[in-house]
Amino acid sequence: MKNLFRVALLLTLPLFAVTACKKEEAAAPAAAPAAAPVTMPSDPNDTAAWKNYLVGVAKQNMEGIRQRPYMYYVPAGDTPEILEQVDRQQSDVTDVIGRGILPGNMIAFGSPDSTRMADLIVEAFKVSRPNSLKDVRVLFIGAAVDEQRVREAVAPSAAEFVFVEAK
How does pLDDT run along the chain (167 residues), one tens digit per residue? 555 444 444 444 444 444 444 444 444 444 444 556 788 999 999 999 999 999 999 999 999 999 999 999 999 999 999 999 999 999 999 999 999 999 999 999 999 999 999 999 999 999 999 999 999 999 999 999 999 999 999 999 999 999 999 88
Name the CA dihedral angle for 14, 17, 22, 27, rounded to a multiple of 10 degrees. Answer: 170
Contact 77, 43 (CB under 8 A): no
Q: Where are the domains of the chain?
A: 47-165
In CATH terms, the fold of domain 47-165 is: Rossmann fold (3.40.50)
Query: What's the whole-model pTM score?
Result: 0.77
